């Protein structure tokens, strides 16, 4: 039915398309969920400068980033505050699907959350989101940890023009 979230079986079929709905994932078995697909952690970056946004795209400046290094055991201790995270997975949305991401409940239960934007129809890329550690004691993350469940929605029809913004094909290559 159009307008509803896709189920596990539908997502699984689309992963075998060309291009696949989602690719570069560590474990299909662990990441494919009843109502979405878990995105996993590739990189954590600290925000190293202010950013800005205006009405026009030309009036936008992204914060500079400082990549943080995982320990030899694959773990990273984060102090309270905001971090930009990059996911392992490349998402390839056809023109008749969109997606929304929600943090996994384990983060919320420990005082951390992830803020996401909409994945527009036609978007292709390795996305980034904002991880905020609210817990005063900090939070530990492991490389490849599943952090966000991406929920895909079937549109009533294909859009005439998919995503055309500056983040198309981001973090690929």
Residue 59 belongs to some domain of the structure: no
Percent with pLDDT over 70 in the chain: 99
| Residue 168 domain flag | no
- Residue 34's CATH number: 2.70.40.10
Q: Is residue 136 part of a domain?
A: yes
Q: If we measure between CA atoms, which residue out of 155, 156, 148 comes closest to residue 33? A: 148
Give the Å distances, CA to CA, from 162 to 94, 122, 147.
Answer: 8, 4, 26
pLDDT score of 159: 95
Residue 52 has pLDDT above 90, yes or no: yes
Q: Domain total for the chain? A: 1
Full-model pTM: 0.94
Dist CA 123 CA 163 (whole Å): 5
Segments forming the whole domain that contains residue 114: 8-49+64-154
Q: How far apart are CA 119 and CA 114, in angstroms?
A: 15
Tell me whether residue 55 is in a domain.
Answer: no
In a domain, residue 89? The reply is yes
110-139 residue pLDDT tens: 999 999 999 999 999 999 999 999 999 999
Q: Is residue 160 part of a domain?
A: no
**159 part of a folded domain:** no
Q: Is the pLDDT of residue 17 over 70?
A: yes
Residue 48 reports pLDDT greater than 90? yes
Tens of pLDDT, residues 28-38:
999 999 999 99
Contacts of 37 (CB under 8 A, 6+ apart): 11, 21, 22, 25, 31, 89, 149, 150, 152
């Amino acid at each position: 039915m159009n307008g509803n979230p896709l189920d596990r079986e539908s997502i699984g079929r689309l992963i075998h398309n060309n291009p696949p709905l989602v690719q570069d994932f560590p474990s299909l078995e662990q990441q494919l969920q009843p109502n979405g697909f878990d995105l996993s952690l590739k990189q954590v970056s600290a925000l190293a400068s202010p950013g800005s946004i205006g009405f026009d795209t030309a009036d936008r400046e992204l914060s500079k980033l400082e990549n943080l290094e995982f320990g030899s055991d694959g773990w990273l201790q984060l102090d309270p505050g905001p971090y930009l995270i990059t996911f392992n997975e490349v998402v390839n949305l056809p023109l008749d699907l969109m997606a929304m991401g929600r943090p996994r409940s384990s983060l919320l239960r420990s005082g951390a959350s992830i803020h996401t934007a909409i994945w527009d129809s036609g978007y292709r890329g390795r996305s980034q989101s904002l991880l905020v550690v609210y817990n005063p004691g900090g939070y530990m993350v492991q490389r490849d940890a599943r952090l966000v469940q991406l929920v895909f929605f079937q549109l009533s029809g294909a859009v005439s023009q998919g995503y055309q913004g500056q983040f198309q094909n981001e973090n690929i290559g």
